[in-house]
Amino acid sequence: MADTYNNALEWDKSGERYFETGIDHVVLYPIDGNNEYKPGVAWNGVRSIAENPSGAEPTKLYADNIQYITMYSLEEYGMTLACYQYPEEFDACNGIASLGGTSVGAKVGQQSRKKFGLAYRTKIGNDTQGNDLGYKLHLVYGCSAKPSSKTHNTVNNSPEAEEFSFEITSDPINASSNPAETLKPLCYIEIDSREFTTVDEKALLTALEKKLFGDPAAASSSEGIPYLPLPSEVKTTLTPAG
């Protein structure tokens, strides 16, 4: 059958005015001794996450008196996370460790920084359903936090909560162990809940979220521990049976 095309474009149709807003369900996944992202811990007080990709810079090569080709540098993924607090488990990722011995409450900086993963959710809305149309899950791998500055201000008549800001870079990991796969190593996966329309498809998304956020109904406590699945497991989890 021949392809059909809409010859008259339409703008701003009802229900098609989409926007993305908000951030919640932020989870920190420190890498454990087995090089796995678990157990995940809730990160409260996150105010914003700004994605800052870099690279992909063009370099023009010339030959035969013409622009011969344009080469591009590798693309890198990074972000800036702003928050009012962070979980205790992030100390090791931020180069902070206990003073040791029998000391209580004493911590030191300038220590080795542990790698970690992140997951968070942003809402999707439109003109008919408001903020409740859907959401996106964002999974980030191979993260490292750079040292960040802190400013302590005096209390005054315009009180403000102290805010922490972390510059985060990421190292790519393999998208799959299958050499036939064509995906390059990656740092980031985005999952749109609007793509899961049938009952079976929604069950796949629920299964992934139980891995990310934990499953209180699991048969044992160890099975319900939240963790960040690697890209190959994400793909398997979101693949319908049969």
Residue 102 predicted with pLDDT over 70: no
Q: Which residues of 157-194 are buried (b: 16+ CB within 10 A; e: fewer)?
A: eeeeeeebebebbbebeebeeeeeeeeeebbbbebebe
Least confident of 5-9, 10-14, 147-151, 219-223: 219-223
Least confident of 15-19, 39-43, 76-80, 177-181: 177-181
Percent of the chain with pLDDT over 70: 94
Percent of the chain with pLDDT over 90: 43
What's the mean per-residue pLDDT of the chain? 87
Give the Cα separation of 24 and 45 in Å (integer): 9
pLDDT, tens digit (0-9, with 9 covering 90-100), for 193-209: 999 999 999 999 999 99
Q: Tell me how far CA of residue 156 lies from CA of 75, 153, 160, in angstroms.
A: 44, 9, 9
Tokens of 215: 């499953």
Where in the chain are the domains?
Answer: 19-59+72-196
The better pLDDT of the pair 103, 44 is held by 44
H helices present in 88-238, as ranges? 199-213, 231-237
Tell the CATH topology of 19-59+72-196. Pnp Oxidase; Chain A (2.30.110)
Least confident of 14-23, 165-174, 176-185: 176-185
What confidence category does residue 143 fall into, taking pLDDT thresholds of 50, 70 and 90?
A: very high
pLDDT, position 88? 92
What confidence category does residue 147 fall into, taking pLDDT thresholds of 50, 70 and 90?
A: confident
Give the Cα separation of 55 and 58 in Å (integer): 9
Residue 55 predicted with pLDDT over 70: yes
Residue 19 predicted with pLDDT over 80: yes
Q: Give the CA count within 13 Å in the CB-facing half-sphere of 50.
A: 8
Residue 69 predicted with pLDDT over 80: yes
Residues 143 and 117 sit within 8 Å (Cβ to Cβ): yes
Contacts of 66 (CB under 8 A, 6+ apart): none
pLDDT, position 2? 58
pLDDT, position 27? 97
pLDDT, position 85? 92
